[in-house]
A and B are shown apart, each in its own frame.
Chain A
Amino acid sequence: MRRATAGLALLAALLAVLPAFARGYALSVATLILYFAYTGQAWNVMMGFAGQLSLGHSLYVGVGAYAAGALFFHYGIGPWAGLWVAILLCVALGLLVGFLAFRFGISGVYFALLTIAFAEFTRIGFDHLDWIGGPAGMFLRVAQRDTWDLANFRGPPVMYYYAMLFLTAGAFALCSFLLKSKAGYYWLAIRENEEAAQALGINTFAWKMLAVAVSSAMTAVAGVFFAFYYNNLFPEQIFHISRSIEIILGPIIGGIGTLFGPILGAAVLTLLSDGITELLGALGWELPGIKQVFYGIVLLIVIVFLPHGIWPGLARKLRLDR
Chain B
Amino acid sequence: MTWDLVANVAIAGVLTGLVYGLMALGLSVIFGVVRVVNFAHGEMMTIAMYATVALFAAWRIDPFLAVVPVAAAFFVFGYLLQARLINPFVTRPEHSQFILLLAVAIIITNALMVSFGPDARNVQVDYQLESYAIGPILFDKARLYAAGMALAASAALFAFFRFSLTGKAIRACADNYLGAKVVGLDVKRYYALTFGLGAACVAVAGCMMILLVDVTPILGPAYTLLAFVIVIVGGLGSMGGALLGGVLIGLSEALAGLFIQPSAKSMISFGLLILVLLFRPQGLLGKKA
Contacts and interface: CB of A to CB of B under 8 A. Distances in A.
Q: Is there direct touching of A and B in the complex, by C-beta distance under 8 Å?
A: yes
A96 to B, nearest CB: 11
Nearest to A256: B95
Contact of B274 (A117, A242, A287, A303): A117
B281 A105 contact: yes
A117 B277 contact: yes
Contact of A288 (B106, B107, B118, B229): B118
Interface in B22-42: 37
A interface residue count range (under 10 / 10 to 19 / 20 to 34 / 35 or more)? 35 or more
Interface in B133-190: none
A70 to B, nearest CB: 20
Most buried by A among B107, B111, B112: B107
B114 interface: yes
B131 interface: no
B60 interface: no
Contacts of B277: 104, 106, 110, 113-114, 117
Interface stretch (A10-18, A72-80, A177-185, A289-297): A289-297
Interface string A98-111: 00100011101110
Contact of A124 (B112, B232, B264, B273): B264
A106 B109 CA distance: 31
A126 to B, nearest CB: 10
Contacts of A300: 100, 103-104, 107
B37 A109 contact: yes
Nearest to A287: B114
Contacts of A117: 229, 270, 273-274, 277
B128 interface: no
B270 A108 contact: no
Contact of B278 (A100, A256, A291, A296): A100
A116 B118 contact: no
Contacts of A252: 95-96, 99
B94 A53 contact: yes
A299 B106 contact: yes
A55 interface: yes
Contact of A296 (B37, B106, B221): B106
A303 B96 contact: yes
Interface in B82-109: 85, 88, 92, 94-96, 98-100, 102-107, 109
Given A55-B98, A110-B281, A128-B263, A293 B107 contact: yes
A307 B92 contact: yes
A4 interface: no
A55 B94 CA distance: 12
A118 interface: yes
Interface string B203-242: 0000000000000010001000100110010000000000
Contact of A120 (B85, B104, B270): B270
A47 interface: yes
B65 interface: no
Interface string A113-155: 1101110110011011000000100000000000000000000
A125 B95 contact: no
A112 B98 contact: yes
A249 interface: yes
Given A112-B94, A288-B113, A296-B107, A249 B99 contact: yes
Contact of A241 (B94, B110, B221, B281): B221
B124 interface: no
List the 6 closest A-B pairs by CB distance, nearest first: A289-B113, A296-B106, A289-B110, A296-B107, A292-B110, A300-B103
Given A47-B95, A100-B278, 19 more contacts: A104-B281, A105-B281, A114-B273, A117-B274, A120-B266, A121-B267, A124-B270, A128-B261, A128-B267, A252-B96, A252-B99, A288-B113, A289-B110, A291-B110, A292-B110, A292-B113, A297-B103, A300-B107, A303-B99
16 contacts: A109-B94, A121-B271, A121-B274, A127-B264, A249-B99, A252-B96, A287-B114, A288-B114, A289-B110, A292-B109, A293-B107, A300-B100, A300-B103, A303-B99, A303-B100, A307-B92
